[in-house]
Homo-oligomer: A and B are copies of this chain.
């Protein structure tokens, strides 16, 4: 039995002001190609289909298009759960009708933790839910943390689980040991958002969503698929792929990754202004990529964003190297507002902010004469 594991589509996502709909459509059609080629028995989507509870209509239309193609036209069963970015209620709408064609969307957690059987594998689908919701749905006042909630859910499932059949857990959670990136929303403070990987020991494979890298967790049986695309610069070096799982009837499996090729890569670029604007340099670049550019120049640079955008239209973020190199300077810059300083002192601070160089005696002499000249002109007026 073969299934494809994916998660964290985040349809409707806006990255630094750019709508990702076309980028998402581009890789989702790669998913469709892979399904055409691999002919899996099921597609598993482990939460965060949408980026927010009320997604834009373009995202709603894209999800309809993709699910329709895979499920209705290609007749591939789909098992999906809602993640913390989805609205459980909105994603649940219509799910009773979808079951006809083996589209199983578990939007809301229910007390009945029965599995969906597809191709001989039991899929236990557990949508994301806050501990307070799990406490209410399961009627267990002892549930306070995500760890409590998941422990109770998995132990209830284990009571009815048939260990002689292959069992897959589909969940959306921050499993301990995983590495986070900027675009995963902070769930709660102090680690209570985490759950331990050993809770899933009873399952042959655990298909997770939430962390955006397929390498977020090193575990033989518990796996993140990673997100569809790089959704923040902290993900710039991550692999984005589909997990293809071939599962044997004893629950053992073979896992391989199919890389996803984005319409435009999202990456970091570092260099001097002259270098970045040099045709020999940029003609070897994918100039339309989504870029975070770090300028290495230490002097004043005039209008860098507009000049760079002539060549690199999709720069999402621009920063200067020296902004980062000395945090102390920023502090001194903000603190001067509260003090009485001479014009010369103020300029010296400003010069230090803008350059890496010393404000030496000759520069000080020039600046002093300039300031005196200006002051005299003002007195004349």
Contacts and interface: CB of A to CB of B under 8 A. Distances in A.
Contact of A101 (B60, B68, B87, B97): B97
Interface residues of A, number: 21
Interface in A54-78: 54, 57, 60-61, 63-64, 68, 71-72
A54 B55 CA distance: 10
The 10 closest A-B pairs by CB, nearest first: A57-B89, A94-B94, A100-B100, A97-B97, A97-B98, A64-B93, A68-B96, A54-B54, A60-B93, A60-B89
A42 interface: no
A244 interface: no
A90 interface: yes
A255 B89 CA distance: 37
A122 interface: no
A314 interface: no
A57 B94 contact: no
Contacts of A89: 57, 60-61
Contact of A100 (B54, B64, B97): B97
Contact of A90 (B60, B72, B100): B60
B93 A103 contact: no
Contact of A96 (B54, B72, B90, B96): B72
Given A61-B89, A100-B100, 9 more contacts: A60-B89, A60-B93, A61-B92, A61-B93, A64-B92, A72-B97, A94-B94, A94-B97, A97-B100
A54 B100 CA distance: 27
A64 B101 contact: no
Nearest to A71: B97
Given A54-B54, A57-B87, A87-B57, A94 B93 contact: yes
Interface of A: 54, 57, 60-61, 63-64, 68, 71-72, 87, 89-90, 92-94, 96-98, 100-101, 103
Contacts of A72: 96-97
A45 to B, nearest CB: 15
Contacts of A64: 92-94, 96
Nearest to A101: B97
Contacts of A54: 54
Contacts of A61: 89, 92-93
Contacts of A94: 64, 93-94, 97-98
Contacts of A71: 97
Contact of A103 (B60, B97, B101): B97
15 contacts: A54-B54, A57-B87, A57-B89, A60-B89, A60-B93, A61-B89, A61-B93, A64-B92, A68-B96, A72-B97, A94-B94, A94-B97, A97-B98, A97-B100, A100-B101
Nearest to A63: B93
A90 B91 CA distance: 11
A78 B94 CA distance: 14
A193 to B, nearest CB: 23
A90 B100 CA distance: 21
Name the residue in A71, A90, A94, A101 with the highest tally of chain B Cβ atoms < 10 Å from its Cβ: A94
A147 to B, nearest CB: 27
A93 B61 CA distance: 7
A92 B72 CA distance: 16
A84 to B, nearest CB: 16
